[in-house]
Amino acid sequence: MLGLDWLNFFLADVQSGIGPFFAVYLAGRHWNEQNIGIALTVGGIAGIAMQTPTGWFVDRTHSKRALVAVGVSALAASAVMILLFPSFWAILLAQIFMGAANSIFTPAICAISLGIVGHDAFDCRQGRNQTFNSSGNLTAALFMGLIGYWISNRGIFFFVFLSALPTFFMLWLIRPEEISYEIARESDEGTTISLLEIFSNRLIITFLICAALFHFANAAMLPLLGEMLTHGQGRSSMMFMSACVVTTQLVIAVFASWCGRKAKNWGRKPLLLIAFGVLPFRGILYTMTNNSTLLIAIQILDGVAGAIFSVVSVLVIADLTRGTGRFNVTLGAMTTAASVGAALSQSIAGTIVHHFSFRAGFQFLASIAMVAYAVLYVFMPETRDHRSD
């Protein structure tokens, strides 16, 4: 398990150069909120296009470790591209590579984990994965904040490139014979049902909608907070963003393993209702203060929601696809739905802020979060004991 634990840790380091830190980097180069939203949306669209096909390929391939290595290489190359060619079109191209690369990691890591431990132990394994992933994000946030403050914002992309090296080593530590091909795709004795059956399943469609709404409400909140803190702060803005990310990831690192255990005992839906329920409060709280310390403290709610969704959403998909042989393509479809929500969130919220105010942007996201909670509560049942026929 050592290789899988630390693969999650170092992979988080590689991925952390994008998202909120990337938004702060662009804001420091005098990009406006609308153009930042466009750049982030381009990466989201690339991820949308690749998530489901990648999940299908993960179901089919025995070379899951090689697929992760390709994704890490693409992220490292994108970081170098941003450093050497910091123009508008080059950055958009780098975002496309990043979006495509990130489509690999969720289904591939989950498939490797499931193939090693099996369905019955997957609850705790997924919580452990997220604990190490968040610990990696926490470490990366600390280093990136210090690099951005003491050196330059461009230094975070050097960090991304260097973090790829130990990631490759940890990937090598996982032996291919440890990964059961059939278990990794939730197949019983080689059984595989059709994609039409999967995507006509009412429960799966309902959960995909829930995932899209959750990320629509959530994805733009932290980047917008980073942009808001950037105004008038100069180089201190990277430290503020680092503090926000550290707060979120510390909560996730502490909370994720607990989520895995409780998902097994309590069921999936009670935990998901907590995750969806804190989002509207978080959006409204951002509009009630300009105090940097309080804004950073609000990120505790982001950590709670992030820990629960990152662990439990994968378990729901595993529940709904057990015995079908279609776990990874369905997980890819869920990530596609989440990416659609996130891309719309970045673009629409960024445009609202550009034309109105940060307050209006956060209020809009809070209203979407309330809709997401209502859909989950009314239409999504408990899935813990579900098994596909």
pLDDT value for 19:
55
State the CB neighbour count (10 A cutoff) for residue 29: 12
Contact 237, 147 (CB under 8 A): no
pLDDT value for 347:
79
Cα separation, 185 vs 156, in Å, equals: 36
Tens of pLDDT along the chain (389 residues) come to: 678 888 888 887 677 655 556 777 777 776 776 777 777 777 777 878 888 899 889 988 888 899 999 999 988 888 888 778 777 788 888 888 888 888 888 889 999 998 898 888 888 898 898 888 888 877 877 777 777 667 776 777 788 888 888 999 998 888 888 888 888 888 766 666 777 888 888 999 999 999 999 999 998 888 888 777 665 555 566 677 777 777 888 888 888 889 988 888 888 999 999 999 999 999 999 888 877 788 888 889 999 999 999 999 999 999 998 888 888 899 989 988 887 888 788 778 888 888 888 888 899 999 999 999 999 999 999 887 765 44
pLDDT value for 18:
58
Q: Which fold has domain 2-379?
A: Growth Hormone; Chain: A; (1.20.1250)
Cα separation, 342 vs 324, in Å, equals: 28
pLDDT value for 6:
86
pLDDT, one tens digit per residue, over 168-224 is 999 888 888 888 888 888 876 666 677 788 888 899 999 999 999 999 999 888 888
Give the residue from 310, 315, 330 showing the smallest Cα distance to 383.
315
pLDDT value for 388:
44
Cα separation, 130 vs 307, in Å, equals: 7
Q: What is the dihedral sign for C-alpha 360, 362, 367, 368?
A: positive
DSSP 15-71: HTTSTHHHHHHHHHTT--HHHHHHHHHHHHHHHHHHHHHHHHHHHH-S-HHHHHHHH
pLDDT, one tens digit per residue, over 44-98 is 778 788 888 998 899 888 888 999 999 999 888 888 887 787 777 888 888 888 8
Cα separation, 153 vs 137, in Å, equals: 17
Cα separation, 227 vs 293, in Å, equals: 16
Contact 56, 328 (CB under 8 A): yes
pLDDT value for 183:
85
State the CB neighbour count (10 A cutoff) for residue 72: 23
Give the residue from 291, 318, 293, 126 showing the smallest Cα distance to 203.
318
pLDDT value for 207:
96
